[in-house]
């Protein structure tokens, strides 16, 4: 559906997007995930033809962004982070205005307006001024605007930015429903949104793709590395490190600093980094049984998208 090859964008000496290669398939809901300033918005603007790439190429179906930008725009619906709305207009008047721009006429136009009002949950506010709506409803109006031409591809830049938890869930449900029929590309830095909504996640950092896979595959791609958390009483760190460091599979052992005012001064918290295909918590427990230490806590951290995101976006 979309083929991106060697895409880069420079603003003078600043490289916002650095040689990105990406294929987006028909019917996918894809999240472009990354910290603020990672290059997500610039990438989306280049995909929509709003910003011209410095180098590289973009192909949408049989069209190229260099030669067929108007044809590509006909295939797209685009909602920027701040929806471009006329706040003094009624919702119905604004959407009818957009429909007229899109050359919709007659019964087809009104059928489209009814469908979008129902899909985006706007029926109850169609005759209210846009400026009086909550941010969640304004985002819905912007989404209806982007969907007016029934695009094959929908591109959403931070669609839930600034919304409260209930509004986020509502917008998320709308996106998932739209995604049953269309290709959806959205950018976000909200990990739960990407995990709950999208089929595939592309993590971008400093303009480069750091990971590209489904969330489940990303969690499994970390290999045999795991983190075991320990809390032990009546133990000295050096003794613990010497005693547990010899366990096969333990690659590192680090103390977690405790608050100075903590009353339990003889309690030690540690993270053990393990490189093992199996679960070595039993070996750790047996080693602790050989001592006079009191084991207060022992658990293996679940690999989460948040952990993976932090690793991929904080390493140099």
Res 223 pLDDT > 70 = no
Query: Where do you find CATH 3.40.50.300 in the chain?
Result: 2-220
pLDDT tens for 72-117 read: 999 999 999 888 899 999 999 999 999 999 999 999 999 999 999 9
Q: Provide the Cα torsion 61, 66, 68, 74; round to 10°.
A: 70
Name which CATH class applies to 225-302. Answer: alpha beta
- Mean pLDDT score across all residues of the chain: 88
pLDDT tens for 127-178 read: 999 999 998 999 999 999 999 999 999 999 998 888 888 888 888 899 989 9
- Residue 201 phi, psi dihedral angles, 5° rounding: -125, 130
- For domain 2-220, give its CATH number from 3.40.50.300, 3.30.360.10, 3.40.718.10, 3.40.390.10: 3.40.50.300
Query: Where do you find CATH 3.30.70.260 in the chain?
Result: 225-302
- Of 30-34, 162-166, 206-210, the one with minimum mean pLDDT is 162-166
Say what the pLDDT of residue 265 is.
63
pLDDT tens for 260-273 read: 555 556 788 988 88
Say what the pLDDT of residue 137 is.
93
């Amino acid at each position: 559906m979309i083929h991106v090859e060697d895409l880069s964008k420079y603003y003078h000496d600043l490289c916002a997007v650095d040689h990105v290669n990406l294929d987006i398939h028909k019917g996918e809901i894809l999240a472009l995930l990354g910290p603020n300033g990672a290059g997500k918005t610039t990438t989306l603007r280049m995909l929509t033809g709003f910003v011209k790439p410095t180098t590289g190429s973009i192909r949408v179906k049989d069209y190229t962004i260099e030669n067929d930008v108007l044809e590509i725009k006909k295939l797209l619906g685009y909602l920027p982070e701040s929806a471009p709305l006329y706040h003094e207009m009624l919702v119905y008047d604004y959407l009818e205005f957009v429909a007229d721009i899109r050359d919709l006429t007659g019964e087809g136009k009104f059928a489209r307006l009814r469908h979008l009002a129902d899909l985006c949950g706007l029926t109850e506010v169609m005759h209210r001024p846009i400026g009086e709506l909550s941010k969640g409803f304004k985002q819905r109006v912007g989404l209806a605007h982007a969907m007016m031409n029934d695009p094959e591809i929908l591109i959403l830049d931070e669609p839930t930015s600034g919304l409260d938890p209930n509004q986020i869930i509502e917008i998320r449900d709308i996106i998932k429903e739209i995604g049953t029929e269309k290709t959806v590309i959205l950018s976000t830095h909200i990990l739960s949104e990407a995990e709950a909504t999208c089929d595939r996640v592309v993590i971008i950092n400093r303009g480069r793709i750091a990971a590209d896979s489904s969330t489940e595959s990303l969690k499994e791609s970390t290999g045999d590395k795991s983190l075991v958390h320990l809390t032990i009483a009546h133990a000295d760190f050096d003794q613990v490190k010497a005693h547990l460091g010899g366990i096969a599979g333990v690659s590192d052992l680090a103390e977690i600093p405790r608050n100075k005012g903590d009353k339990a001064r003889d309690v030690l918290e540690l993270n053990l980094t393990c490189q093992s295909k199996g679960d070595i918590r039993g070996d750790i427990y047996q080693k602790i049984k050989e001592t006079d230490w009191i084991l207060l806590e022992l658990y293996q951290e679940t690999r989460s998208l948040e952990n993976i995101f932090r690793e991929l976006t904080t390493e140099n």
